[in-house]
Amino acid sequence: MTDVEHDPARHLLARMRYDRLPDGTQRRSPIPLDAAAAEFAELIEAGRPAEARLDPDDARDEVAAFSRQRAKVIATLLDELSRRLAPGLGAGPVQGDGSLSELAARTARHLRSGTGY
């Protein structure tokens, strides 16, 4: 397996992309923070129809239901946060457009409100 350089200031720590090369080996590539935000936003949108069915208007005060896609995004964001908060990590300032931070903030608001609509 070959690796591409990983920079914590620009790439996710929690996940890598694996590509199969023509010779049968794999290449492990870091995922840019901005690309991760776009991928996560697509996952959340894909899960919205399930959320609308699971969380009807009349039950919003009693339950917070979200799709498997949103759950995967939340799990990855928490994993990313736990890695970035680990003692000794020197990632430096994040180099990105802020879209991952905004997505995390929107996801937090969704959880607090019980609705993401």
**pTM of the predicted model, to two decimals?**
0.77
Domain boundaries, given as residue ranges, for the chain? 32-86+96-113
Reduced to 3 states (helix: H, G, I; strand: E, B; else coil), residue 28 is strand
**Using a CB cutoff of 8 Å and minimum separation of 24, what contacts does 59-64 make?**
60/114, 60/115, 61/114, 63/114, 64/111, 64/114
pLDDT tens sequence across 52-63:
776 566 555 566
pLDDT tens sequence across 76-111:
999 999 988 889 877 778 889 999 999 999 888 888
Exposure of 81 in the CB half-sphere (CA atoms within 13 A): 10
